Structure 1
Amino acid sequence: MSNKSQWNKDTPEELRTRIIVGTIIGIVIVLMGIGYYFYAINYTSRGRINDFLNKREGKTLNSKFSEKIKCANLSTDYTVEQTLKDIETLELNTINLPIVINIDDLDSSNVSIYDNSLQRAKLLLDKIKGKKINVILEPYPWIANGSKYETEFNPTNKEQFFSNWENKVLKPIIDEIAIPYRVDALNIAAGFNKLENMEDEFCNMIDFARQYYKGLVTYRTSFWTTANWKDEVTKKQVDELNKKYENKLNNKIFSKVDFISIASYFELTDNDLNTVENLVKALTSSQRYLREQEIKQQVENFYDKWNKPIFFGELGFPRTTKASVEPWNPYLSKDISGQEQANCFKAYKQVYEEEQWFLGFSYFAVGNKDGDKMYYPSEKTVEVMKSWFDAN
């Protein structure tokens, strides 16, 4: 018997019931379709980071994160096999995944994604599916074949650069990586020191990214230097350093992000070797050149200013003596000291781990330990890294 003939035999009340039920089913199907669309395209995040934000005085500020981030930056030449081993060894809950962006020179406005880097990222993400590993995606500037630093990058045509970065970098990696692999956070850029004063352009860039990507967004700024020298000879220099810090602190880029990322390569001491106790003191008042930089307080000031948690998006020390002198310089010493590297991380653990405003850190760098990899963790450092956030 056909459905049509059955409907012809229905009473008006039964017919009305069928119409109502059919309408409800149709609405449910439409709503399920809409829900799937927003899940698949406009999701917020897949990871455990998403429901947690640090608490201050017992009050939750918002619900963006569920746990502190225990992360590592992958070197640009990471291998999938070594990365999987390092995730397990260091007991990470997050990786910072770089996508190499080719830039010809420090003044160039043209950018392009290195396709091999993009494809390798997809291979890795396929491997970690189901492993509860959060992902922070980062376009990584590879300037003059990696010979020059993004901190010195200053394109001649800045308007063209920002347009290219949005359309040739951010949009493609959102479409090809962030959305299909449901990455938890996008770092729109990092360490563009000479461009950070272009606040409107960066804010527009973040707005651009949020049109297509509904996960967490951050920007990683570089470490800074200040000094408390009291003599008249250095007064101008001190004033200039302090002014740069104030400009960074008040930069409205940080009003637009979900959490504030800092590359924490602060210069701590002038010593070849240090006790953990001395390094803890140096994080409160730095000893390098007797600057007495109040590093911890200055970092916390960003939280106080913007009410956003602080994440050390890069935290690295070479496994050598003098690791605390210029942490950003892997070639300052040729004398290996895994203990000095470990002590530096132990000091950071003691100073920051329990702070409610501290979201976490990303160890620099893992994923490849062949050749000249001075930042790869020593055995003693591995033990320190495993102990971070054990109670969480």
Structure 2
Amino acid sequence: MRTIFLMLSVIVLMSSCSMTVPKPEKINGVSFVASGDSISDKHVNPVVKLNANYASLMPFGFIRDLAHPEIIYSGKRQWFGETEDGVKQYASALNKKGIKIMLKPQIWVSRGEFTGFIKMGSEEDWQTLEQTYSKFILEFARIAQEMNADIFCIGTELEGFVDERPEYWHQLIKEIKTIYKGKLTYAANWNEFNRTPFWNELDYIGVDGYFPLSQEQTPTLAESRKGWQKHKTLLKSFYDTYRKPILFTEFGYRSIDYAGVKPWLVDREDGKVNLEAQSVLTQSLFDELWDEEWFAGGFVWKWFIDYESVGGIENNRFTPQNKPAEETIRKQYSKY
């Protein structure tokens, strides 16, 4: 009888312990868009209310065209939130509310052309691009170290640059590591990450997760989840190969018809507002990926500081602010 009692006690104790084991922390992030002004609690509180625990800060450097090798940044015409002082001020305001930081310097090509198509016309220009990109990214690596950023992203959707100059990137990572001591990632486009050559040297496999999911005007949740299966299998295979967690350095959908066909389409593309499509597609991503141990989380694209005046039910852009998708994200982020 005493033996049976002891066995029952052990079972009860084990059951109790299993029920109280917390879920592992996920990166519940927002891509926090810079502006010309400093920020305060007014701008950070909506991020806290979303149950986010990370924000990506994105200072931009600019090049004239896809074949131009010189990167211009931190000039007089730069947004305050993209300067060194601005990035540090944003980070401080977010940190005070418990929000961790990924610093993610990016390149903007004139007229919004896709950075993955950057390609120099000569060896001399490639070397100039390497020199100017190193200056740009190493300066922000220093800033990331000084402000104790939790993650530093070494580049965003630069597949042509990476394909053409892989040895440069291996050397750049070594130089970054002499300056910045935190976690590193790279934001590979959804159709780029499978050939990015330096995942072994980073802490996260970073993916901008704009995978096509559905051909429907308003996809169902079941159809959207089905659309994830082949992508999910590929992502898991990369985790298994490199033993590095998958991080969606960007994810999101426009509130527009057929949002699951080509989720990467930029804001210049017009279309009818479809709030349901945005919310359903976002939920499918959460359902398929967020509970996986190999998935680290991600940063929703995109979140603006002036909360009251952005998004809304007549807006067909990426931001989930003041739309049903915001509540979808809030509920998911509250689970971790």
- TM-score for the superposition, normalised by structure 2: 0.81
Q: Deviations over 1:105-125 (max 9, x none)?
A: 111111122343213222212
Separation in 2 of the partners of 1:105 and 1:83?
34
Separation in 1 of the partners of 2:232 and 2:294?
12
Alignment partner of 1:380 is 2:324: yes
The answer for unaligned runs of 5 or more in structure 2 is: 1-23
| Superposition pairs of residues 207-246 of structure 1, within 5 angstroms | 207-224=174-191
Alignment partner of 1:282 is 2:227: yes
Aligned residue for 1:253? Answer: 198
**Residue 353 of structure 1 contacts residue 389 of structure 1 at CA under 8 Å; is this kept in 2?**
no
Residue 99 of structure 1, CA deviation: 0.8
Tell me which of 167, 178, 189 is aligned to 2:144.
178
Answer with 1 or 2: which has the greater Rg: 1
Q: Identify if the C-alpha distance between structure 1 residues 373 and 106 changes in structure 2 by more than 3 Å, giving closer, same or farther.
A: farther
Tell me which of 57, 73, 98 is aligned to 2:31.
73
Output the amino acid matched with 1:273: T
Residue 357 of structure 1, CA deviation: 0.3
Output the amino acid matched with 1:264: G
**Residue 321 of structure 1 contacts residue 333 of structure 1 at CA under 8 Å; is this kept in 2?**
no
Separation in 2 of the partners of 1:72 and 1:298?
25
**Residue 272 of structure 1 contacts residue 321 of structure 1 at CA under 8 Å; is this kept in 2?**
yes
Output the amino acid matched with 2:176: A
SS of residue in 2 equivalent to 1:214 = coil
Residue 370 of structure 1, CA deviation: 4.2
Tell me which of 292, 297, 303 is aligned to 1:355.
292
Output the amino acid matched with 1:214: K
Alignment partner of 1:206 is 2:173: yes
| Superposition pairs of residues 76-91 of structure 1, within 5 angstroms | 76-77=34-35, 80=39, 83-91=43-51
Higher mean C-alpha deviation, range 88-97 or range 120-129: 120-129
Output the amino acid matched with 2:319: Y
Q: Identify if the C-alpha distance between structure 1 residues 255 and 78 changes in structure 2 by more than 3 Å, giving closer, same or farther.
A: farther
| Superposition pairs of residues 102-121 of structure 1, within 5 angstroms | 102-115=62-75, 116=80, 117-118=82-83, 119-121=85-87
Q: Identify if the C-alpha distance between structure 1 residues 129 and 210 changes in structure 2 by more than 3 Å, giving closer, same or farther.
A: same
Q: How many pairs align?
A: 293
Higher mean C-alpha deviation, range 342-351 or range 197-206: 197-206
Separation in 2 of the partners of 1:103 and 1:130?
34
Output the amino acid matched with 1:277: A
Output the amino acid matched with 1:324: G
Output the amino acid matched with 1:322: Y
Q: Identify if the C-alpha distance between structure 1 residues 210 and 350 changes in structure 2 by more than 3 Å, giving closer, same or farther.
A: same
Residue 87 of structure 1, CA deviation: 1.1
Q: Deviations over 1:221-247 (max 9, x none)?
A: 1112xxxxxxxxxxxxxxxxxxxx7xx
**Residue 303 of structure 1 contacts residue 357 of structure 1 at CA under 8 Å; is this kept in 2?**
yes
Q: Identify if the C-alpha distance between structure 1 residues 151 and 327 changes in structure 2 by more than 3 Å, giving closer, same or farther.
A: same
SS of residue in 2 equivalent to 1:194 = helix
Residue 83 of structure 1, CA deviation: 4.4
Q: Identify if the C-alpha distance between structure 1 residues 265 and 83 changes in structure 2 by more than 3 Å, giving closer, same or farther.
A: farther
Alignment partner of 1:150 is 2:150: no
Separation in 2 of the partners of 1:333 and 1:275?
22
**Residue 322 of structure 1 contacts residue 332 of structure 1 at CA under 8 Å; is this kept in 2?**
no
Tell me which of 283, 286, 296 is aligned to 2:232.
296
**Residue 322 of structure 1 contacts residue 333 of structure 1 at CA under 8 Å; is this kept in 2?**
no
Residue 171 of structure 1, CA deviation: 2.3
Separation in 2 of the partners of 1:152 and 1:76?
25
Q: Deviations over 1:233-277 (max 9, x none)?
A: xxxxxxxxxxxx7xx535431111101110111111211111111
Separation in 2 of the partners of 1:373 and 1:278?
22
Aligned residue for 1:136? Answer: 102
SS of residue in 2 equivalent to 1:300 = helix
Separation in 1 of the partners of 2:212 and 2:43?
29
Considering only aligned residues, what root-mean-square deviation do their CA atoms show, in Å? Answer: 2.2
Aligned residue for 1:321? Answer: 257
Aligned residue for 1:97? Answer: 57
Aligned residue for 1:43? Answer: none
Aligned residue for 1:270? Answer: 215
SS of residue in 1 equivalent to 2:58 = strand
Aligned residue for 1:127? Answer: 93
Q: Deviations over 1:299-338 (max 9, x none)?
A: 1121111110001111020011111111111455521121
The answer for unaligned runs of 5 or more in structure 1 is: 1-65, 225-244, 285-293
Residue 169 of structure 1, CA deviation: 0.9
SS of residue in 2 equivalent to 1:113 = coil
Residue 384 of structure 1, CA deviation: 1.0
Output the amino acid matched with 2:59: I
Output the amino acid matched with 1:174: A
- TM-score for the superposition, normalised by structure 1: 0.70
Output the amino acid matched with 2:242: W
Aligned residue for 1:160? Answer: 128
